[in-house]
Structure 1
Amino acid sequence: MKDTVVKSNRGNTQLIHFLQEELDISATSIAFALRHSQQDSGPLPMILWQYGLVSIEQLEQIFDWLEG
């Protein structure tokens, strides 16, 4: 279980870096989405989109990045 959490945290760190550097998503928006993803138990990209913090095109870019 601990290994899964560590991998998840590493993945989130890389994802957050991608969101900030490549998509220019603000740290405030990411923090907001992270809080809601923990409360709603949803994936971070979907929370960002659900609250209008990324466009559908950006969401597609995120999923492409995650697949890569």
Structure 2
Amino acid sequence: MIYTTNSINPPSDELCNFIIDKLGISQSALELGVKRSSLENSPLPIVMRSYGLITIKQLQIILLWLKEN
């Protein structure tokens, strides 16, 4: 884990809606990801992948969506 004084921005509502609506991830999995992302001060998609909440393919889809939005 990396400790830093700079906090990462929380995930946007649009990103959370995309993860639930387009990828079919459960609300509880997203909530766990958001919580861990905040605690670890890490990007939500990376945390969700590291905890096995999304697949590599889903991570790629999220990263493409982030790039386009």
TM-score w.r.t. the length of structure 1 is: 0.83
Identity level (%)? 30
Unpaired segments ≥5 residues, structure 2: 1-8
Q: Which runs of 4+ in 1 moved over 2 A?
A: none
Distance in 1 (alpha carbons) for counterparts of 2:33 and 2:67: 21
Counterpart of 2:5 in structure 1 is none
Say what the alpha-carbon RMSD is for the aligned residues.
1.2
Q: Which runs of 5+ in 1 are unaligned?
A: 1-7
Q: Which amino acid aligns with 1:14?
A: E
Residue 31 of structure 2 aligns with which residue?
31
**Residue 39 of structure 1, CA deviation:** 0.5
Q: Give the deviation of 1:48 after TM superposition.
A: 0.6
Of Structure 1 and Structure 2, the greater helix share is in 1
